[in-house]
Structure 1
Amino acid sequence: MTISVSEIATVRARHPEAIAEAAARRHRRPFLGERGRLMIVAADHPARGALRVGDRKLAMASRVDLLERLTLALSRPGVDGVLATADVLDDLLLLGALDRKLAIGSMNRGGLAGAAFELDDRFTGHRAESLERLGFDGGKLLLRIDYADPGSLATLHATARAIDEMAERRLPVFVEPFICRRVDGKVSTDLSAEAVATSLAIASGLGGTSAYTWLKVPVTADAAEMGRVMETSTLPAVLLGGDVGRDQEGTYERWRKALRLPTVHGLIAGRSLLYPADGDVARAVDTAAGLL
């Protein structure tokens, strides 16, 4: 039984067991289909308190609006699944939107945006155990490394153990690494080719096996640099969509070039597709899917 968005709160209050029942009924699909490419829509930002899109501070604050955008995106041809935290995936289960779609759980959301402990990024979301229990298809980790912040070591250690736990269950895990530093108290990400390559090298070596590890990689501005960056590892990778901003066509062209690289197998994008500058979610999703 599927429900409408307006009924979710009532079902959650009266029948919380409906979430597990919906997970048990869900029809699963192969992780990597025949085309060997992945198109995943990301919606794990709110759990880190990151609700801003462009100049709209609370763009992602309306859950009803977010779910409507997500269900539209998931209905478009070429979209393989969604990456989200437990609350969002539970909502989508109740809506019946995850049948034959990949459900990727976001695992560490403790590093709240702007917090003093932002880089001590605890695993407060999905665990390997819960992903397996719900029959989900994989997980995702954010790994921000600041050489001057001791909290980064705790995140590194926890990430390595989570990779081991996922591999024990043969569940793929996307690791999204960045080299960061604090500038005037705020965390700033270094997207230079050297920093991105360094972060990929570090992430690739975590855990007792890399058999089920995927990399989630930001796209550098220069295509030649991106090619050199991706030579750092043999692990399969997907591109990080990030914010498109006003130059949608320029962003799509960078994605198109990066998707030609041999280790790149797809794209995970969130706000750039769910909240495009022109407001047309279907068009943004279709354009991104067409790049694959």
Structure 2
Amino acid sequence: MTGVDPARLVEVRARHPEAVAEAAARRRRRPLMAGAGRLMIVAADHPGRGALAVGDRPFAMANRLDLLERLCLALSRPGVDGVLATADILDDLLLLGALEDKVVIGSMNRGGLAGAAFELDDRFTGHRPQDIARLGFDAGKLLLRIDHQDPGSLATLHSAARAIDAMAEHRLPVFVEPFLSRRGPDGQLRNDLSAGAVTTSLAIASGLGGTSAYTWLKVPVTDDPDDMMRVMETTTLPAVLLGGDVGDDPERAYGKWRGALRLPTVQGLVVGRSLLYPADGDVAAAVDTAVGLL
């Protein structure tokens, strides 16, 4: 792991809070899509929603120093284009100088806390469009979970549409991560990853807002490659794959990602916990494997 001095970070935050804006102002930027390559983005916005677990470790992402070291290592690997995170994490990475020549994506709605009764009333408590523009970041991301039985979904749907409009006014891309979701008998919220549900969620997300010119989609990978091909025929919007938990069979997960990356709509891959917290602990190897799929 790369070394991160937490005492130095705290000292700067306490004595010179303006250093965050100064670091953002002098950050070397790059185009969202550079050359003929595809995007490889590392996601780390889970803690902002109270989702700290990785596998059987309920608080794996709670150690901020450990998370920052893993992120800095991942961002240092060849082929990694950038990071998706909440303001607190991006501020730390700015102060550490880890975002030079990287794509920076701000996480916008983190109000649907994991396990909460109001989880689907997913308020925009993270980056606002004006924050992303002011800091010179490159895009935003919003989560859109829809349960036909939960009235809270309507509030999220409406606020997501207005966020898409506001991002377009700033000419900033916004990555929309849509799901059809439902609560099980245990009350836990689960996303429906069937081909029909993913297709429907993409159609809904594509139609939000007064323009789709700056809208991207962040799409989960279905199990059947033929299903994935039909799912991606739903829209002409550019998309990135959501690389979820690889579970006990990473090779199978990588095979699914590899197949989906061949589809013409797919422009890259966004992966979080499975790269930052691989089962064998080798972050660099996990990241390099994912980059190799592109």
Q: Same fold (TM over 0.5)?
A: yes
Cα deviation 1:234-288 (Å, max 9, x = unaligned): 1000000111122111111110000000100000000010001111100000010
**Equivalent residues of 1:5, 1:95 under 8 A apart:** no
What is the CA–CA distance in structure 2 between the aligned matches of 1:269 and 1:6, rounded to whole Å? Answer: 29
Mapped to 2, the partners of 1:106 and 1:267 lie a distance apart of: 16
Backbone CA RMSD of aligned residues: 0.8
Gaps in structure 1 of 5+ consecutive residues = none
Match of 2:183 in 1: 182
Contact 1:252-1:288 at 8 Å conserved across structures: yes
> Structure 1 stretch 227-236 or stretch 28-37: which is displaced more?
28-37
Paired letter, 2:72: T
TM-score, length of structure 2 as denominator length: 0.97
TM-score by length of 1: 0.98
Q: Which amino acid aligns with 2:157?
A: L
CA contact (8 A) 1:175 1:203 kept: yes
Identify the residue that residue 82 of structure 2 maps to in structure 1: 81
Q: Distance in 1 between matches of 2:274 and 2:250?
A: 9
Q: Identity, % of aligned pairs?
A: 77
What is the distance in 2 between the residues matched to 1:86 and 1:261? 32
Distance in 1, matches of 2:136 and 2:5, equals 23
* 2:117 counterpart residue number: 116
Equivalent residues in 2 for 1:81-100 (5 A)? 81-100=82-101
1:276 and 2:264 equivalent?
A: no
Aligned to 2:208: 206
Cα deviation for residue 61 of structure 1 reads: 0.6
Distance (whole Å) between structure 1 residues aligned to residue 71 and residue 172 of structure 2: 24
Q: Secondary structure at the match of 2:197?
A: helix
Aligned to 2:257: 255
* Secondary structure in 1 matching 2:41: strand
2:29 is matched with which residue? 28
Take 2:227 and 2:7, find their aligned partners in 1: how far apart are those partners?
A: 47
Q: Secondary structure at the match of 1:267?
A: strand
In structure 1, distance between residues paired with 2:5 and 2:175? 31
Paired with 2:34 and 2:28, the residues of 1 have a C-alpha distance of 15
Deviation string for 1:141-172 (max 9, x for gaps)? 00000000010000000000000000111101
* In the alignment, structure 1 residue 131 sits paired with structure 2 residue 132: yes
CA distance in 1, matches of 2:168, 2:118: 28
Contact 1:104 1:137 in 2 (8 A): yes
Q: Which portions of structure 1, spanning 4 or more consecutive aligned residues, are displaced by more than 3 angstroms?
A: 3-6
Give the equivalent residue in structure 2 for 1:228: 230
Shift of 1:4: 3.8
What letter corresponds to residue 68 of structure 2 in structure 1?
L
- TM-fit CA distance, 1:36: 3.8
Letter in 1 for 2:123: R
Deviations 1:104-129 (A, max 9, x none): 00000000000000000000000000
* Deviation for aligned residue 1:12: 0.5
User: CA shift at 1:98, angstroms?
Assistant: 0.3
Quick check: 1:4–1:95 contact (8 Å CA) kept in 2? no
* Shift, 1:5, TM fit: 4.1
Q: Aligned partner of 1:264: which letter?
A: V
CA contact (8 A) 1:242 1:272 kept: yes
Q: Retained in 2: the 8 A contact 1:53–1:275?
A: yes
Structure 2 unpaired stretches of 5+? none
Aligned match of 2:63: 62
Q: Number of matched residues?
A: 290
Measure the CA separation in 2 of the matches of 1:28 and 1:195. 37
Matches within 5 A, 1:6-45: 6-45=7-46
CA contact (8 A) 1:193 1:220 kept: yes
Task: Measure the CA separation in 1 of the matches of 2:116 and 2:12.
Answer: 34
Partner of 2:242: 240
The letter for the 1-side match of 2:47 is P
1:201-230 C-alpha deviation (Å, 9 max, x unpaired): 000000000000000000001101000000
